[in-house]
Amino acid sequence: MTLAARLKKTLTAESPLPVSGNWRPISLCLDDTACEFLNVGVVFADGASVEVRMLDTFERLKCLYDTRINQAHLQHLLMDIEDSLIATKGDLPDRLSDTIRLGPSLFAQGEDAESIVDAFFEDVVTLARPRKNQAPSQFRYRSSSKVCSSVLELMKEQLGFNASRVIQDQPLRLPLNNGRTIDVEVPLLSTNAVGSVVSAWYKSPMVVENNILQAGADLSLVASNSQRQAAMSVLIPNDKSGLSAKEREHVERTAYRKLERFERSGVVVLRDDSTAGLAEQTIKWWRERGAA
């Protein structure tokens, strides 16, 4: 379905669909000389709820820019863009910088935010389309921020008011052993425990490694300066994720290698291949550490 046809269908729907809001393309200038902006993602906002999907395949970009693009740096930038947009709580800016801008805000409605974003992503992010004779990818990455939000929502549903005892809405101002303080982002905290929720549901092992190392560093920092037990809840892709067997093997090898390192240092690792299963393990662990 073309973009025009999709917009027409949205506007002429006979009955309102469950989710409605506004979507915008996300554009990035990769060449300052040419000043050409390319669509690299889509964002949809429904009130304070924000859904984002960013480019995660780079074959077409390699054809356009060859070695002029550092893929590792680009992946980090795209993740930062996604985190920044989610942090706006729906108050989306027109620009994040001189080289990152959002397109016009257009109405959309659908069954859920993810399906809305996926539909428009396929229409406007041409860089994600498969090359000739290449099958379309069935993989959809799940960001750490989205997985964390989903796990925390399930905790709230099952634990009720008790969930507020451990779920953190603000960064922790941590006193260090040297007398200074530092703000640390940890979503779960009690008097005797600290926890993070991490996604390894990515195609890139480098992104998976970065997510685990960042979460592990924050947990280790809090644990070593406050005598708390640390736990990391990790979503691992399964054989139905859309990744090829080889891609999944690379991701799992990277994830398990890093997770074993933190387990040896005393961090408890909770892992599952579904959000519901990961939430169940996380709830069980935290019931004994303040969320009961």
Query: What HEC string does the chain produce?
Result: CCHHHHHHHHHCCCCCCCEEEEEEEEEEECCCCCCCEEEEEEEEEECCEEEEEECCCCHHHHHHHHHHCCHHHHHHHHHHHHHHHHHCCCCCCCEEECCEEECCCEEEEECCHHHHHHHHHHHHCHHHCCCCCCCCCCCCCCCHHHHHHHHHHHHHHHHHHHHHHCECCCCEEEECCCCCEEEECCCEECCCEEEEEEECCCCCHHHHHHHHHHHHHHHHHHHHHHCCEEEEEEECCCCCCCCCHHHHHHHHHHHHHHHHHHHHCCCEEEEECCHHHHHHHHHHHHHCCCCC
CATH number, domain of 167, equals 3.40.50
Judge if 176 and 54 occupy the same domain. Answer: no
- pLDDT truncated to tens, each residue of the chain (292 aa)? 555 555 555 555 555 668 899 999 999 998 877 788 999 999 999 988 999 999 988 888 888 777 777 888 898 899 999 999 998 999 999 999 999 999 999 999 999 999 999 999 999 999 888 766 665 667 899 999 999 999 999 999 999 988 999 999 889 999 888 888 999 999 999 999 999 999 999 999 999 999 999 999 999 999 999 989 999 999 999 999 999 999 999 999 999 999 999 999 999 999 999 999 999 999 999 998 876 5
In the chain, the number of structural domains is 2
Structure token pair of residue 108: 């959309």
Judge if 121 and 256 occupy the same domain. Answer: no
Token pair 């801008």: residue: 101
- What is the pTM assigned to this prediction? 0.83
Token pair 């019931």: residue: 287
Judge if 39 and 124 occupy the same domain. Answer: yes
Give the end of a domain, one of 80, 95, 128. 128
Domain residues for 112?
A: 3-128
